[in-house]
């Protein structure tokens, strides 16, 4: 008789953790995660474009983000805010619908902010409950591209200082 060992969530779950330094206050960076106008400016790196950005940024509130790819493919993410501490922490559920194989059910996104200097914030993004390494790698690539855009959103305008 073969008895398989009991499986635990840790056996099948992986996470993505990325850390960035953003040239903005923690309050400004927090707003980039909750204000639809700001979300539109960074959460869909080219060649993708944001078609819907709706937020009800309160605990229990819902959000909806829809991005269209270069071939017309639609990527929709919805979820609920679990925790909001302005300028410090944001936790929300993350449900993806779209053509990528990342249709993996509800995951959890945690964003922590720490001011490390005047108008300089360390952002730690942790995306949890990823069911496998392949989907984890896809999220690493996606979040890396998005965070590149977030950094650009608050990067000092070099044209003004170099002219």
Q: Please give the average pLDDT of every successive group of 10 residues along the chain, which has 163 residues.
A: 38 81 98 98 95 98 96 95 98 90 80 97 96 87 96 73 40
Measure the CA–CA gap between 85 and 126, rounded to whole angstroms: 16
pLDDT given for residue 102 in this prediction: 54
What pLDDT score does 99 carry? 82
d(CA 51, CA 43): 11
**pLDDT given for residue 2 in this prediction:** 35
pLDDT at 133: 85
Assessment of whether the complete model's pTM goes beyond 0.75: yes
């Amino acid at each position: 008789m073969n008895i398989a060992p009991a499986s635990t969530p840790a056996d099948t779950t992986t996470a993505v953790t990325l850390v960035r330094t953003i040239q903005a206050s923690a309050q400004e960076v927090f707003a980039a995660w909750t204000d639809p106008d700001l979300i539109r400016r960074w959460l869909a790196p080219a060649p993708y474009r944001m078609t819907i950005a709706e937020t009800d940024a309160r605990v229990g509130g819902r959000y909806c983000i829809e991005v269209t790819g270069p071939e017309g493919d639609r990527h929709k993410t919805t979820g609920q805010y679990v925790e909001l501490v302005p300028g410090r922490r944001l936790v929300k559920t993350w449900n993806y619908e779209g053509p990528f194989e990342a249709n993996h059910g509800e995951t959890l996104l945690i964003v922590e902010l720490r001011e490390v200097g005047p108008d300089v914030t360390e952002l730690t993004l942790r995306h949890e409950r990823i069911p496998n390494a392949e989907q984890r790698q896809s999220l690493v690539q996606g979040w890396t591209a998005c965070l590149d855009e977030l950094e650009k959103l608050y990067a000092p305008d070099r044209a003004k200082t170099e002219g």
